[in-house]
Amino acid sequence: MRISIFGTGYVGAVTGICFADLGYHIIFTDVDESKLKIINQGKSPVYESGLQTLLEKNRQKISTTHYALEAVLQSDMSFICVGTPSNEDGSIDLQFIKEVSRTLGAAIAKKNSPHIVVVKSTVIPGTIEDVVQPLIKMESQKKANIDFFIVSNPEFLREGKAVYDFFNPDRIIIGTD
């Protein structure tokens, strides 16, 4: 299975590199090309205990692209691992989630097989139904639960223990329609 990871920050880097260690081919994509360059140089874009060693061990299973279309066409599923910073009023800023959802939708429009989208980013209940799915549907002009599937898989990674937590989770939560 080939997995594309949208976002190479803390959650995306840990998720992708750890999945590579499980044998999956990983395609990282990010709007920040400097992070992709760092990965291409064999370096982790974030510091996390044990992550650099896993990247070095699994480099042949990891590729990068700045082109979302390429990432989606070459993968079976995509993980949304972008930041969801807080607004001044304490609400979640969904700007990056919206951008990635539109981008994924445009790419899924050109795909001839079903695609799975996994939302790993921290979002509030209802975000997938009210934001992610409608944007992907609008951009792709395809049908949810037929042409594309959306799954919620929130992350519970502790900084400094994220690699351990990935391989030894105290809970696994997956939600979908």
Confidence band of 159 (pLDDT split at 50, 70, 90): confident
The pLDDT assigned to 176 comes to 84
* 148-158 residue pLDDT tens: 999 999 988 88
Confidence band of 110 (pLDDT split at 50, 70, 90): very high
The pLDDT assigned to 156 comes to 86
Mean of the pLDDT values across residues 41-54?
96
On whether the 2-167 domain is CATH 2.40.110.10, my answer is no
Please list, in sequence order, all residues whose beta carbon lies within 8 angstroms of the beta carbon of residue 18, skipping any fewer than 6 positions away.
54, 163, 166, 167
* 9-21 residue pLDDT tens: 999 999 999 999 9
The domain ranges of the chain are: 2-167
Measured CA to CA, the distance from residue 96 to residue 81 in angstroms comes to 10
First-residue to last-residue Cα distance in the chain: 22
Confidence band of 111 (pLDDT split at 50, 70, 90): very high
The pLDDT assigned to 19 comes to 98
* 73-82 residue pLDDT tens: 999 999 999 9
The amino acid at residue 21 is: D
pTM of the predicted protein model: 0.95
